[in-house]
Amino acid sequence: MSSPEDITRLKQLKESEALQAAWDEWIETRQLLEETSPLLDDPDPTMRSLASDEYSSLTNTLTTTVESTFPSLLVPASTTSHLSALMELKSGVGGSESSLFLAELVRMYQRLANVNRWKAEVVGQNDNEGGGTKDAILEIKGLGAYDALRWESGVHRVQRVPATESSGRVHTSTVAIVVLPLVEETDAHNEELFKMDDIKLEVMRARGAGGQHVNKTESAVRLTHIPTGITVSMQDERSQHQNRRRAFQVLRSRLMDQKITREIAERRAARTNLVRAADRSEKIRTYNFAQERVTDHRIGLTLMNLTSVLEGDGLQDFLDALRRDHYESVMEDMLESA
Amino acid sequence: MHSRLLAQLAAHIGTDQASLELRWMKQALSSGLSNATLSTMVKRRALGEPLQYILGTQPFGPLNLLTRPPVLIPRPETEHWVIKLAESMFPTAQNPRNLLDLGTGSGCIPLLLCHLWPKGSLRTHGIDISPHALRLANDNAALCGIPTHCDTDEPQNTYTTSLASFLHTSFPDNEASIKPPYDIVTSNPPYIPWDEYLELPRSVSDYEDPKALFGGPSGLDFYHAIARIVSHKNILSPNAVVALEVGYEQAEIVESLMRRTGRIHRTEIWGDPWGKQRTVVAHAHA
Ligand SMILES: C[S@@+](CC[C@H](N)C(=O)[O-])C[C@H]1O[C@@H](n2cnc3c(N)ncnc32)[C@H](O)[C@@H]1O
């Protein structure tokens, strides 16, 4: 918990009515707490017990003020709060088991989207011959989707006995997820993300004489952003034109992601303190089927209801906890550098 | 999973293509656009029928057009140059253009331009020798919401069609529906020469109209006809643009045919995304 001196400094940071109200409440609660504290040793047992109840309720209020009210008022408003999200999922170790799990994760995010009234659409997908999905791109449209989902970036690990495993041995497989901010074609700040001259656009398969000679569907395209070396391939749509639009959307999202990451790094470099950087190769979560549990390793939170997580509701609990954790670390960061 | 159907399809078109096409078939079925079953779709495809006829549609730019045998399926090469043409000109409702499309087929070329350009900036007319094509073209116009004439106070782009042969030496004089001068003439005429026609993949030659493909022994018959039409006095307005799709080895010959009409002062050849010379664009004298 932060000391009152810190709060004083924060007070100077930002003056606002909401903050003033929260501040007044904080002062008042602390005062009540001070008044209650001597009563904890009162000779009258009834008084003691009353005091102790009050004391713990006041402490709770203080904790909430510090852990959520102040942060939500003080943490700078997110500049990405209006953005939708583009999730790229890739199967990792574990072969077809990883592909099967990837397909389940896609369904999990689709359900979560439903609950939040976001629009989820699989815009790219490569299926595995043995079942499941090798990789997928999931577009999640809606206010706040990116801010809510960005903490899903990282390696998700599943531990279970594959349906195909006769010996009953538990396998560990992984799926890597990267969540990007979705940048629409019509968004104003596209211009600065890339120059058309820096783009190399290629069709992916030969078409022989082409034109009237051929009526096979050859709609796959690949584009390369030369300065960054980012390449995007798209083949899911029947029209080349649509694949091209999708590919540009993914490119814009990746470039926007790089820009946001760069800006965060610059802001941090300007301060003395470093907040934990998001490492996308870090194992962030384990889904353990045998124990029916899901653990998020970053915040140490375990939910004993794996089914509910895969259905979307439990996942919401993780997202909420991660958001709180983010607020807190931004707060700490501000306190230490203020 | 439909692994049996996938295997059946993969034997004909390869695994990668099969898994994509199977997914598109499922999408068409779930969107209610087709009342076939997945297994009949796969069976037809395995017999060599083009996917676009089985699904009944083909995207063309942002449009989703109907496809129906034997009318030629719109090609991605055509989609590419029509979008490029759309981006290279700037008609406005104050300065609307007249367009003539020769061999209009599904109507894809004028319909896409009508869709992409500002409302009220374009009036188009397509002719074709095939009644099947004209019926499909009109259905597509209705589907895309492009009327035959402006029937409201709102400005609109329009598309009309008529049955006519532009190979005829009397064309366009005896055609009441042709109202020159035109600011834009577009055509993707039949351009496959005889020897290549015999080598076509079965999915093309067995299903698509030979009259939409065969361009005479040399493949150039229709370009000679277009050159004659372009030479015709008063058919083109000053600074008119003639945009012609060509076969993979025909661009330079067609370019010189256009230059020799005496109406053209500048020509360009556009490449397609697969690296073939695909479109001859000729600009008329001012
Ligand atoms: C290659 S297809 C092009 C169709 C459509 N414009 C497209 O780009 O998909 C050629 C079209 O020309 C039509 N056609 C063939 N001979 C013709 C003629 N003598 N007069 C008018 N149209 C003709 C065919 O019926 C066919 O629809």
Q: Is residue B169 part of a domain?
A: yes
pLDDT band at A42 (very low <50, low <70, confident <90, very high): confident
- Which helix (H) or strand (E) element contains residue A337? helix A313-337
B70 inside domain = no
Among A74, A94, A111, give the residue marking a domain's end: A74
Residues A287 and A170 in one domain: yes
> What's the pLDDT at A189?
56
Q: pTM for this structure?
A: 0.79
CA nearest to A216 within chain B? B50
Within a domain: residue A180?
A: yes
Residue A61 belongs to domain spanning: 4-74
pLDDT for residue A24: 82
The predicted pLDDT at position A38 comes to 85
Whether residues B93 and B190 share a domain: the answer is yes
Which contacts qualify for A269-278: CB closer than 8 Å, 24 or more apart? A271/A333, A271/A337, A272/A336, A272/A337, A273/A333, A273/A336, A273/A337, A275/A329, A275/A330, A275/A332, A275/A333, A276/A329, A278/A151, A278/A153, A278/A154
Distance of CA B204 from the midpoint of ligand 1 (Å): 15
Cα–Cα nearest to A159, from A297, A295, A302, A318: A295
Per-residue pLDDT, A304: 92
Which residues in chain B have Cβ-Cβ distances shorter than 8 Å to A241?
59-62, 76, 79-80, 83
For residue A99, is pLDDT > 80? yes
Q: Are residues A228 and A256 in the same domain?
A: yes
Q: Is B189 in the pocket of ligand 1 (CB under 6 A)?
A: yes
Q: What is the pLDDT of residue B90?
A: 94
Note whether A210 contacts B: Cβ–Cβ < 8 A. yes
B68 domain residue, yes or no: no
- Do B252 and B141 lie in a common domain? yes
Same-domain status, A58 and A151: no
Same domain, B157 and B252: yes
Q: Name residues whose C-beta falls within 8 Å of residue A185's C-beta, 6 or more positions apart in sequence.
A: A245, A248, A249, A252
**How far does the centroid of ligand 1 lie from the alpha carbon of residue B103, in Å?**
3
**Residue B95, domain member (yes or no):** yes
Are B40 and B95 contained in the same domain?
A: no
Last residue of a domain, one of A18, A40, A74: A74
Is B144 domain-assigned? Answer: yes
- Same domain, yes or no: B20 and B109: no
Range of B278's domain?
A: 76-284
Does residue B66 lie within any of the structural domains?
A: no
Query: Where a domain ends, among A52, A74, A96?
Result: A74
pLDDT tens per residue, range A253-285: 999 888 888 877 776 655 444 444 456 788 999
Residue of A215, A223, A240, A246 to mutate, testing the B interface (most B Cβ within 10 Å of its Cβ): A215
A41 in the same domain as A134: no
List CB contacts (< 8 A) between B72 and chain A.
Answer: 212
Contact B197, A218 (CB under 8 A): no
Chain B interface includes A39 (CB < 8 A) = no
Q: Quick check: is A79 in a domain? A: no
The pLDDT of residue A100: 93
Q: Is residue A211 over pLDDT 90? A: yes
Per DSSP, the three-state class of A97 is: helix
Q: How many domains does chain B have?
A: 2
A29 within a domain of the structure (yes/no): yes
Q: For the segment A154-202, what is each residue's pLDDT rounded down to a tens digit?
A: 999 999 998 777 788 889 999 999 999 988 776 655 557 888 899 999 9
Residue B62 covered by a domain = no
pLDDT of residue A65: 80
Between residues A28 and A106, which one has the greater pLDDT?
A: A106
CATH number at residue B278: 3.40.50.150
| Contact predicate B103/B188, CB 8 Å | yes
Shared domain for A250 and A122, answered yes or no, is: yes
Reading the block at residue A113, the tokens are 């989207």
CA angle, residues A21, A25, A26, in degrees to nearest 5: 115
Average pLDDT, chain A: 84
Q: What is the pLDDT of residue A274?
A: 40
Q: Does residue A191 belong to any structural domain of this protein?
A: yes
Per-residue model confidence as pLDDT tens for chain B (286 residues): 578 888 899 999 988 899 899 999 999 998 876 678 999 999 999 999 999 999 999 999 999 999 999 999 999 999 999 999 999 999 999 999 999 999 999 999 999 999 999 999 999 999 999 999 999 999 999 999 999 988 777 899 999 999 999 999 889 888 889 999 999 999 999 999 999 999 999 999 999 999 999 999 999 999 999 999 999 988 999 999 999 999 999 999 999 999 999 999 999 999 999 999 999 999 999 8
Measure the CA–CA gap between A211 and A215, rounded to whole angstroms: 8
**Residue B182 and residue B243 in one domain:** yes
Residues A200 and A162 in one domain: yes
Number of domains in chain A: 2
Tokens of B212: 């939409």
Residue B37 sits in the same domain as residue B123: no
CB B246 within 8 A of CB A209: no
Same domain, A51 and A97: no
| Residue A164 forms contact with B (CB below 8 Å) | no
Shared domain check, A65 and A178: no
Residue A180 and residue A52 share a domain = no
**Is A131 in Cβ contact with B75 (below 8 Å)?**
no
Domain at A168, CATH number: 3.30.70.1660
pLDDT at B24: 94
Based on the domain organization, do A154 and A252 belong to the same domain?
A: yes
Residue B55 domain-assigned?
Answer: no
Residues A24 and A130 in one domain: no
A60 and A95 belong to one structural domain: no
Long-range contacts of A40-46 (CB under 8 A, 24+ apart): none
* Nearest residue in B to A234, CA atom: B20
CB of B138 shorter than 6 A to ligand 1: no
d(CA A175, CA A93): 8
